[in-house]
Amino acid sequence: MNSVDFLDKLLDGVGVEWRALGDVVHMRAGQHISASNITEEASNEHPYPCFGGNGIRGFVAKNSHDGRHLLIGRQGALCGNVQRTNGKFYATEHAVVVTPSDCINIDWAFHLLTLMNLNQYASQSAQPGLAVGKIESLKIPIPCPNNPKKSLEIQAEIVRILDAFTELTA
């Protein structure tokens, strides 16, 4: 059984509302930073990880974000990859920073975005890329939409199961 089928089974019998991703998370591309401001290794002067489209590019002196976020690779052959972050970091213009609203568990969003294979929505050009507007219009399931507390409880329980399932299959 693959992860999508597993998720379908977990949601079976739970009331679900399909909502546009842009309605439940905030998405914004990171900011440009000159390569000369990025070092290969962390130091007292450059303590913050700097994320590009495919993961950590190096370390920088100032952070652009703090807290729990998701990052979606926005450009390149691996665009659409999804990563979880926690703490202070800098996101370049090659990454989309995802911040959930109060109605969505960030780890729930991580699993959904990973299962959605976002790379399939990339432009078909020499340098593949994802448009934030296109991603925001994609629909995701929100369990128990009329009961926010129950919805978050269900999301957290499914995250626990999916994290365990992911560990077992890794």
pLDDT in tens, 120-155: 999 887 788 898 999 999 999 999 888 999 999 999
| Per-residue pLDDT at 2 | 61
Structure tokens at 150: 């129950």
Strand partners, 48: 60
Instruction: Name which residue leads in pLDDT, 97 or 128.
Output: 97
For the ranges 2-11, 35-44, 111-120, 135-144, the lowest mean pLDDT is seen at 2-11
| Per-residue pLDDT at 58 | 97
SS3 call for 81: coil
Strand partners, 28: 97
Distance CA 140, CA 76 (A): 25
Distance CA 53, CA 64 (A): 15
Residue 4 one-letter amino acid: V
Identify whether the C-beta of residue 21 lies closer than 8 Å to the C-beta of residue 139: yes
